[in-house]
Amino acid sequence: MMKSMMHVDSSFHSTLRRFHAGAVLICLIIWGMNTAIAQTTPFDLQGHRGARGLLPENTLPAFEKAIELGVTTLELDVGVSKDGSVVISHDRALNPEITRDASGAYITAPLLVNRLTMAELKTYDVGRINPESPYAKRFPDQQAIDATRMPALSTLFKRVEAIGAKKLRFNIETKISPEKHNDTVSPAVFARKLLDVVREHGMQSRATIQSFDWRTLQIIKELQKGHTKKVLTSCLTAQQPWGNIVLGADKAPRWTGSVSAADHPDVPSMVKAAGCDIWSPYFADISPALVKKSHELGLKVIPWTTNTEAEMTAVIEAGVDGLITDYPDRALPLLTRLGKTIR
């Protein structure tokens, strides 16, 4: 009986040791898989207005520089001209800090994009910052390229195809404001014109449409119903005095379409309710907890606009899926050091 019990006890401990060894092995495998996933999950590096810190914003030279550096996405802004062309421009009106007329003089007052035809817009030179402007102090390293014109979105698409950048993506912002109705075409016309150009060039699977004015994003969602190829939508946010969201307020929302901040506990919940695929917050507004919440809701998080190593490091460590920067050349070595794979 004693021998039998000793045999059972020995067998039990042997089994227990094998179980523990197996459990440890499984844990190591899972840890290794998670580490590998963390190291190989593609990171989306977006060149803000091409590479604004290096070359004139929202121009073909800036976009080509960003591609050369190795960004995964070109971030850009668009408006609609008087004759219905979708033109690449950050502002609803031509910016006197960067715009010169045919005589070479900087314009003295903003000129609305929607009051000028595409041909008229191309008479302006946007290749050199006014050296006396605040903009020049912000971007002292931007190289001037005289005789640079504002491109149409279709021109950029054609150029990217000619270069052969088959995997390059586009993050396109609609520059429209619910507070300035006469500055642009209506949200419905804006959304339709933009989507038409994207479809014409077959870029649906490579394009994201973003906006602070969520009306255009919700219209895009409606226009895509029944289509198999669809663009993604990204809700831009800023919880700042100058921003588009104040939590606990906005019973009658202006910037956030049909979604009221008063009805939601946090911004990721608002973004999800709006139907967006991506949350694109001002970088100072995010936290690891909000990034985690976004991921739980099925949202990707791509903050704007991070230009210093400290800013980039902070958002990367918070767990974001990508970042937008004026300086892709600064971001690339940092991402390499942090073990991030650029898709």
Instruction: List CB contacts of 309: < 8 A, sequence separation 6 or more.
Output: 330, 334
Domain that includes residue 10, residue range:
1-40
CA distances for 154 relative to 23, 46, 208, 273, 328, angstroms: 57, 20, 15, 32, 24
Looking at the structure, do residues 147 and 206 belong to the same domain, yes or no? Answer: yes
Looking at the structure, do residues 11 and 77 belong to the same domain, yes or no? Answer: no
Looking at the structure, do residues 163 and 78 belong to the same domain, yes or no? Answer: yes
Name the average pLDDT for the chain. Answer: 91
In percent, the amount of the chain with pLDDT more than 70 equals 87
Q: Classify 63 as helix, strand or coil.
A: helix
Angle at 343 between CA 34 and CA 236, to 5 degrees: 95
Looking at the structure, do residues 65 and 53 belong to the same domain, yes or no? Answer: yes
Looking at the structure, do residues 35 and 169 belong to the same domain, yes or no? Answer: no
**b/e string for 174-191 if b means 16 or more Cβ within 10 A?**
bbbebeeeebbbebeebb
Q: What is the pLDDT of residue 252?
A: 57
Q: What is the pLDDT of residue 192?
A: 99
Whether 35 has a pLDDT exceeding 70, the answer reads no
Looking at the structure, do residues 276 and 336 belong to the same domain, yes or no? Answer: yes
Whether 20 has a pLDDT exceeding 60, the answer reads no
Whether 241 has a pLDDT exceeding 90, the answer reads no
d(CA 295, CA 195): 27
Query: At 325, is the pLDDT very low, low, confident or very high (cuts 50, 70, 90)?
Result: very high
Instruction: List CB contacts of 288: < 8 A, sequence separation 6 or more.
Output: 317, 318, 319
Number of domains in the chain: 2
Looking at the structure, do residues 172 and 281 belong to the same domain, yes or no? Answer: yes
Looking at the structure, do residues 156 and 214 belong to the same domain, yes or no? Answer: yes
Taking residues 207-213, report their average pLDDT.
98
Query: At 91, is the pLDDT very low, low, confident or very high (cuts 50, 70, 90)?
Result: very high
Query: 20 or 200: which carries more pLDDT confidence?
Result: 200
Looking at the structure, do residues 36 and 52 belong to the same domain, yes or no? Answer: no
- Per-residue pLDDT tens over the stretch 53-88: 999 999 999 999 999 999 999 999 999 999 999 999
Q: What CATH number has the domain bearing residue 193?
A: 3.20.20.190
Query: At 11, is the pLDDT very low, low, confident or very high (cuts 50, 70, 90)?
Result: low
Looking at the structure, do residues 63 and 29 belong to the same domain, yes or no? Answer: no
| Predicted structure pTM score | 0.88
Taking residues 112-116, report their average pLDDT.
98
Looking at the structure, do residues 134 and 86 belong to the same domain, yes or no? Answer: yes
Q: What is the pLDDT of residue 196?
A: 99
Looking at the structure, do residues 108 and 18 belong to the same domain, yes or no? Answer: no
Whether 1 has a pLDDT exceeding 50, the answer reads no
d(CA 135, CA 117): 26
Q: What is the pLDDT of residue 25?
A: 44
Taking residues 155-163, report their average pLDDT.
99
Whether 320 has a pLDDT exceeding 50, the answer reads yes
Q: What is the pLDDT of residue 250?
A: 62
Taking residues 146-150, report their average pLDDT.
99
Whether 21 has a pLDDT exceeding 80, the answer reads no
